[in-house]
Amino acid sequence: MTRLVFAALLALSAGCAGRTITLETGPRSFTPDDYEDVYESWTRDDQDFEWALLDDVLHVTATFESWEFRWAYVVRYGYDHAVEADDRETMLRATLSDAGENHRFYVTVAGSDFREQNLASRHSAWRVLLVDPEGRQTEPVEIERIRRPSAADEIYFPSITPQRQAFRVVFPASRADGTPAIPDGATHVILRFTGARGRVDLRWDFGDVDADEPLR
């Protein structure tokens, strides 16, 4: 599937009821073809803006690299790049271990002022926060600007365009006081972009997976 068709499907699916997403860990049985569905399930974009007036100020798309997303990504990446089974298993163990330590988001943004949209710059107009259901906020431990996304990034994260800046935003799984950034049993989490120009909240709602929708 081409990037153009992939992006079109993502746009069509926005706002529609999708598969249940969960933070439950455990084995998955994904195939390479499952990646697109998993990507869409864990990606939020500017159609989730709370304030329509921000439409001309900030366009943002974010993919939550959850346990489930990471599993699907390794399966797809390993297939596309003909990675040997042992090496693929090593990749999977490493990324799932990191999932227990960090909540990672792949973010692309665009707006009228390039410098203001650089989330990694002290000149950015936006503060980025992870907000739990109780309203507790966690600050990122790292925001990395990806100056030149790789060919793989452009395929696996189709929100990348020449008009957008790309970032990796990392939050600790546990705050300095030892409390979790996303508590067990959380019903949702919000990735918040806030500043003098306004506020954008991208929200992931979590559900329980029942027998009719097993972990794959």
Would the CA dihedral through 112, 115, 118, 122 be positive or negative? Answer: negative
DSSP state of 174: B
Across all residues in the chain, what is the average pLDDT? 87
**What integer pLDDT is reported at residue 96 of this predicted model?**
98
**Do 38 and 32 touch, CB atoms closer than 8 A?**
no
| Predicted TM-score of the model (pTM) | 0.86
The CA-atom distances, in angstroms, between 91 and each of 73, 74, 78, 83 are 10, 7, 9, 10
**What integer pLDDT is reported at residue 107 of this predicted model?**
98
Domains of the chain by residue range: 3-13+28-173+189-205
d(CA 167, CA 60): 11
Alpha carbons within 13 angstroms on the beta-carbon side of residue 56 total 1
More confident residue, 195 or 48: 195
d(CA 54, CA 64): 22
More confident residue, 113 or 32: 32
* 50 has pLDDT over 60: no
**What integer pLDDT is reported at residue 156 of this predicted model?**
98
Question: Which of 7-16, 83-92, 107-116 shows the highest mean pLDDT?
Answer: 83-92
